Structure 1
Amino acid sequence: MLLNVSYNDKKITEKIDSEVGKPFTLKERWAMGGIGSPRLFITETSVEIRNLLVLDNNRDQCNIEMRPKGIIVRFRSLLETFALIIPYYKLTLYKGDLAKYSIYRDHHFIKVQADTKAVQKFFKKILDYKADNMPTSIEDL
């Protein structure tokens, strides 16, 4: 789900929380060693996201926030902030050649550079958390 999260809207916040859970507490964030990614440079996206990014001339970049039931990929275009909400059961990550990661949800995707150890370590953290916390049956969803 691609949303404009520039403004503090209660309905959008409820949608996000129902999809990927409420944010981790400070104690949980500390225990996990942080829940946010370093700055990620976007190399390629799906058409709908590309149409938003081409509106300005800035370098395309995003960041990822981990949540208990998924991740949020945030990026900016003009003066607006957009978020791609991805629950873990719809998240697909691929490590491509030339140090790139691809993040997929249904027909949306974002490909980012993974040229530093910090970025690679963060994606490993996402995959490990997803594996440890995925529901084992359809009733757990």
Structure 2
Amino acid sequence: MLLNVSYNNKEIFRKIEKEVGKPYSFIKRFALDGIGSPKLHIIDSSIHIKNLLILDNNTDSCNIELRPRGIIIRFRSLLETFGLIIPYHKLSLNKTDLGIYTIYRDQYFIQIRADTKASQKFFAKMLGHRADNTPINIEDL
């Protein structure tokens, strides 16, 4: 689900919390050693996201936030912030030898260059977090 998260809209917050859970508390963030990724450069994306990114001439970049039941990929276009909300049961991740990750959810995808140690460490944390928090049964969703 691709949403405009620029404004404090309670309905959008409810949709996000329903999909990926509430944000972690400060103590849990500290225990997890952070829940946000470093700045990641977008190489390619699906047509929905690409149409938003071409509206301005800035560098295409994003960051990823961990949530209890999924992730949020945030990026900016013009003066708006957009979020791609991906629950763990819909998350697909591919990695190439060149440090390029492709993250999929249904018809959306974002291809990211993760060539630093910090970004690779974050993706390892994300995969571990996904393995720990993905529901085993369909009834758990």
Give TM class, smaller chain: over 0.9
5+ residue gaps, structure 2, are none
| Identity across matched positions, percent | 65
Counterpart check, 1:74 vs 2:40: no
**Residue in structure 1 matched with residue 5 of structure 2 by the alignment:** 5
Superposition pairs of residues 1-141 of structure 1, within 5 angstroms: 1-141=1-141
2: CA distance between counterparts of 1:23 and 1:80?
Answer: 21
Q: Within 1, Cα distance between the matches of 2:76 and 2:10? A: 20
**Structure 1, unaligned stretches of length 5 or more?**
none
TM-score by length of 2: 0.98
Measure the CA separation in 1 of the matches of 2:121 and 2:14.
30
Q: Name the aligned partner's letter for residue 65 of structure 1.
A: E
Matching residue's letter, 2:36: G
CA distance in 1, matches of 2:106, 2:115: 26
Q: Secondary structure at the match of 1:37?
A: coil
Q: CA RMSD in A?
A: 0.6
Code of the residue aligned with 1:18 in structure 2: it is: K
SS in 2 for 1:35: coil
Which amino acid is the alignment partner of residue 116 of structure 1?
T
Deviation at 1:97, TM superposition (A): 3.1
Q: Deviations over 1:35-86 (max 9, x none)?
A: 0000000000000100000000000000000000000000000000000000
